[in-house]
A and B are shown apart, each in its own frame.
Chain A
Amino acid sequence: MIKYIVKRFFLMILTIFIIATLTFFLMNAIPGSPFNEEKTSNAVVQENLEKHFNLDKPLPVQYVLYLKSIVTFDFGPSIKQPTETVNSLLGRGFPISAELGIWTILVALISGITLGVVAALRHNKLIDYTAMTIAVLGISIPNFVLATLVIQVIAVDLKLLPAATWNSPQHMILPIIALATGPMAIIARLTRSSMLETLTQDYIKTARAKGLSPFKIVVKHALRNALMPVVTILGTLLAGILTGTFVIEKIFAIPGMGKYFVQGINQRDYPVIMGTTVFYSTFLVLMLFLVDIMYGVLDPRIKLHKKGGE
């Protein structure tokens, strides 16, 4: 197990290095510079600014400096917001994004799995059809459409909840609804089909022959086996939710990380782009690693440190 974790750790570093390198060169391939828009500044000022941010140096030197900033986890000051460092932006934005993300995943998982299990147990009955109709709607409606819809109906028309910003738990409900519906629908559909398959397995019949209650059969014997496909997509879903927050954070005026990411790219704020990208990719690679660990926990047949079977 430890051997596996060490191996995975080095692979993760390699992955992040490749992402960082690609980002760096792609970023520099975009035409323009951070100072394009500042028409008032004269050539001398611009030259000094470039010198200050090391932008006058040749690209390979910049690349080495940039790698150094990743290793030390110090991305330096933001170019466009001189009073802020990239680290302080991340430090402020990430907790908010993470809070939204974690709640979203929790809501999506719990409601999705419940919906899927209920649908599978009432296969081809009204509840099944209702649940699957909800799921299809959830998958088809983009989250920004849903976001504007809930703002209009719940916040503006019914005045039940605040429409935007991020101050209290009530403010969290609408963005979570908007963000969680899609993943919930995907999880519900997956759980349902996987549950239907699991329920026909012989060991479910064995459990029934033992005289166990239906509840125990579903929760103890079926669910754990049925959740494998859900775990598989969880890593990708997490990625989806994290990138999805850019749009949702914008719509709900949530001061999360997404804003800085988009702003950074628009303004060619190189340190911010680099910082957010490396941060996101590190986070994502970690999540995928956790998902792989989860496999081993859920299914003892999957041994992480060994290759092949027994």
Chain B
Amino acid sequence: MEKILDIKDLHVSFTTYGGEVQAVRGVNLDLHKGETLAIVGESGCGKSVTANSIMKLIPSPPGKITQGSIHFKDQDLTKMSNKDIRKIRGVDISMIFQDPMTALNPTLTVGDQLTEGLKQHKKISSHDANEQAIEMLNLVGIPNPKERMKQHPHQFSGGMRQRIVIAMALICEPELLIADEPTTALDVTIQAQILQLFNKIQEQTGVSIILITHDLGVVAKIADRIAVMYAGKVIEVGTRREIFYNPQHPYTQGLLNSVPRLDQRGDELIPINGTPPDLFSPPKGCPFTARCPKAMEVCENVYPVHTKLSETQEVDCWLQDERAKKYIAT
């Protein structure tokens, strides 16, 4: 399969009064055409920052990509000028944000917001743009699109607004869609509808999706591959099957244990104790050491080696080392 996105050793930091926060510390990720990659992790692990860096949407200052590259097809996005990146935004790569209640401009009509991207990037008449917008609203399942185009965002419910946001992101037929917690702000029944919509859209348009979420339920539904992030690093990546049935990193295992399951009634949930490390001064070794039930001495001082377990599953953990296996056995 064709690789459309390749992130190599990405470092992003934010300069604050308290010092430099290293939000992303060497992320490697790739994405194939037509694939859905989910990035999961708890709040502050750098998943949103990674996503925003792809489109260069991190506020700068204080944010800055300090190292690494993001290759989209043949271009390195990190080296592009603001003017050039604007030609990519919305056309080749689109983004959907978390809260549909605030993602739409309250003073402009839905139609206006839908078509402005088209008009900006493609030489297209107002009439054609409107036609295309109506078609798009149809696709995302908004009834009476023609009348709805003239309405303002406050006349729509939360789920409908998220559909509009999705329509807006897809209208220029992008190759990559980045969805930053697209269902977090919606209630559960609407979540399911929106996830189905993602599936449907992917089937119809073949768009690649990066899905950022902390909701493992969402991930189980639509992700092909899953990347688990912790303290600014990707600590484990694999197919959905591998991550759910054969998680190797203690953090991934902890995450899965802390999710309520229908088939294990009555059992208590097992939380991961402690808090993530302070990213003002990230630890030398594995950042999960302090919370890890299987931590060894080496974990604290040296960052684990990157181990390839299968064609698709990779993990950063000392437990994969030959010597550790002996140590656990004894």
Contacts and interface: CB of A to CB of B under 8 A. Distances in A.
Given A203-B102, A220-B108, A300-B152, A213 B89 contact: no
B103 A203 contact: yes
A12 B121 CA distance: 50
A75 B147 CA distance: 54
B107 A225 contact: yes
B325 interface: no
A211 B106 contact: no
Interface stretch (B91-99, B235-243, B258-266): B91-99
Interface residues of B, number: 29
Interface in A169-210: 201-203, 205-210
A298 interface: yes
B105 interface: yes
Contacts of B55: 209
A208 B57 contact: yes
Interface in B112-126: 116-117, 120-121
A310 B154 contact: yes
Contacts of A206: 97, 103-105, 165, 168
Contacts of A221: 105, 108
A203 B89 contact: no
A209 B107 contact: no
A interface bracket (residues with beta carbon within 8 Å of B): 20 to 34
Nearest to B61: A124
B205 interface: no
Nearest to A199: B59
B57 A209 contact: yes
Contact of B97 (A205, A224, A298): A205
B142 interface: no
A39 interface: no
Contact of A201 (B89, B102, B121): B102
A298 B116 CA distance: 19
Interface in A210-256: 210-213, 216, 220-221, 224-225
Q: Pick the most buried of B89, B106, B107, B169: most chain A CB atoms within 10 A of its CB.
A: B107
B91 A211 contact: yes
A14 B175 CA distance: 63
Contacts of A56: none
A208 B89 contact: yes
Contact of A212 (B88, B102, B116, B154): B116
B306 interface: no
Interface of B: 55, 57, 86-91, 94-95, 97, 99, 102-108, 116-117, 120-121, 152, 154-155, 165, 168-169
Given A211-B121, A212-B117, 10 more contacts: A205-B97, A206-B165, A210-B120, A211-B88, A211-B89, A220-B108, A225-B107, A300-B107, A300-B154, A301-B106
